[in-house]
């Protein structure tokens, strides 16, 4: 049974046995109905799950957490929208930390990784008009009980692959709603420095020498992640001490 201790996130839960995508569904319901902030759409199976960069999000029926959450972050100027990415990534990380003793990291911009493998992905779709983020559909896919993944996926993992134990996706959704509310309220009450610091401290590869590939040229360089700027650009430092900022898709992490 789904039970939250939150005040608004997850108070309205729309549970579907199957849907194209919880994010597409929530987007269309939000344009026709008066859904409250914090409404959650949850499903056991998506026929057209959406990932970042136009990718497909695959998930075996009934095994994982697939949910989208409706937020109205009108208080956040669009130029600071990356703070919402940070808050959501931290909430997903906070949730996974509850179930695992291993370190759980945020791979910039907002993937969650354990043991150098991806356990969760986040897709944020903001509706911006003029200078306001009117709504944000926060789509979260968290691998729970799936242990066999399609070959095309890069290094996936799940709670069961790591622990050998099964978990209830709905129970984990309730925990996720709690942490989302905590992090969202931090953002709303302008505890921005805390969010930035927590994000930076949990960033995969920070202060560690790593290899990166520049997407446009194919150039490979050795550098160190130093953090993320206020727009969400990744800051790397190369061996000459020169710092560079990167947008999404401009750079790829290579496995050591
Ligand atoms: C990624 O590519 O890392 C982001 C994946 C986001 C997947 C989730 S699953 C629930 C929600 N509905 C979708 O269609 N996508 C998101």
Query: What is the rounded distance in angstroms from the CA atom of residue 176 to the CA atom of residue 156?
Result: 20
The continuous run of DSSP H or E covering 111 comes out as strand 111-114
pLDDT at residue 155, as a whole number: 87
Q: Which of 23, 59, 150 to mutate to test the pocket of ligand 1 (most atoms within 8 A of CB)?
A: 23
> pLDDT tens, 196-217?
999 999 999 999 999 999 999 9
Residue 167 pLDDT more than 90? yes
* Residue (of 76, 25, 29) closest to 46 by Cα position: 25
Atom of ligand 1 nearest to the CA of 22: 12
* Dihedral, 151, 155, 156, 161 alpha carbons, nearest 10: 100
pLDDT at 256: 61
- Which atom of ligand 1 is least distant from the CA of 140? 8
Give the Å distance between the CA of 109 and the centre of ligand 1: 14
Instruction: Name the burial class of residue 81, with classes exposed (0-12), middle (13-18) and buried (19+) by CB atoms within 10 angstroms of its CB.
Output: middle
The residue among 193, 226, 184 whose CA lies nearest residue 90 is: 184
Contact 221, 212 (CB under 8 A): yes
What would the pLDDT profile of 7-52 be if each residue is shown by its tens digit? 999 999 999 999 999 999 999 999 999 999 999 999 999 999 999 9
Q: How remote is the CA of residue 244 from the centroid of ligand 1, in Å?
A: 29
Ligand 1 pocket test target in 89, 123, 156 with most atoms within 8 Å of CB? 123
Lining ligand 1 with CB less than 6 A are 21-23, 46, 49-52, 55, 57, 66-68, 111, 121-123, 139-141
- Fold category of 13-201 in CATH: BirA Bifunctional Protein; domain 2 (3.30.930)
pLDDT of residue 63: 98
Nearest residue (by CA) to ligand 1, atom 3, is: 121
Q: What is the pLDDT of residue 194?
A: 96
- pLDDT tens for residues 48-64? 999 998 899 999 999 99
Mean pLDDT on 65-84: 96
- Per domain, the residue ranges of the chain are 13-201, 209-253
Supply the CATH classification number for the domain 209-253: 2.30.30
- Residues 90-134 pLDDT 10s: 999 999 999 999 999 999 999 999 998 999 999 999 999 889 999
**Going by C-beta distance under 8 Å and a sequence separation of 6 or more, which residues neighbour residue 54?**
none
Atom of ligand 1 minimally distant from the CA of 111: 3
pLDDT in tens, 72-81: 999 999 999 9
What's the rounded mean pLDDT across residues 159-185?
Answer: 98
CB proximity list for 122: less than 8 A, separation 6 or greater: 85, 88, 89, 92, 110, 111, 112, 138, 139, 140, 141
Q: How far apart are CA 221 and CA 175, in angstroms?
A: 40
Atom of ligand 1 nearest to the CA of 51: 2
Residue 254: pLDDT band (50, 70, 90) is confident
Q: Are 203 and 105 in contact (CB under 8 A)?
A: yes
């Amino acid at each position: 049974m789904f039970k939250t201790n939150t005040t608004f996130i997850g108070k309205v839960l729309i549970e579907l046995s199957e849907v194209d995508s919880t994010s597409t569904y929530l987007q269309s319901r939000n344009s026709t109905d008066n859904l409250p902030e914090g409404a959650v759409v949850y499903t056991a199976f998506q026929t057209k799950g959406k990932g970042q960069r136009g990718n497909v999000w695959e998930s075996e029926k009934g095994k994982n957490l697939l949910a989208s959450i409706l937020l109205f972050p009108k208080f956040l100027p669009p130029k600071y929208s990356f703070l919402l990415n940070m808050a959501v990534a931290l909430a997903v990380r906070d949730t996974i930390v509850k179930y695992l003793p291993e370190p759980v990291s945020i791979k910039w911009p907002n993937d969650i990784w354990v043991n150098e493998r991806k356990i969760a992905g986040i897709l944020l779709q903001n509706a911006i008009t003029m200078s306001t983020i009117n709504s944000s559909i926060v789509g979260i896919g968290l691998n729970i009980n799936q242990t066999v993944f399609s070959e095309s996926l890069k290094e996936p993992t799940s709670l069961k692959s790591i622990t050998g134990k099964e978990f209830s996706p709905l129970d984990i959704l309730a925990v996720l709603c709690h942490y989302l509310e905590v992090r969202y309220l931090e953002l709303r009450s302008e505890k921005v420095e805390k969010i930035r610091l927590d994000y930076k401290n949990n960033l995969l590869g920070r202060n560690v020498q790593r290899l990166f590939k520049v997407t446009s040229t194919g150039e490979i360089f050795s550098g160190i992640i130093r953090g993320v700027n206020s727009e969400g650009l990744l800051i790397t430092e190369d061996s000459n001490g020169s710092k560079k900022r990167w947008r999404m898709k401009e750079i790829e992490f290579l496995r050591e």
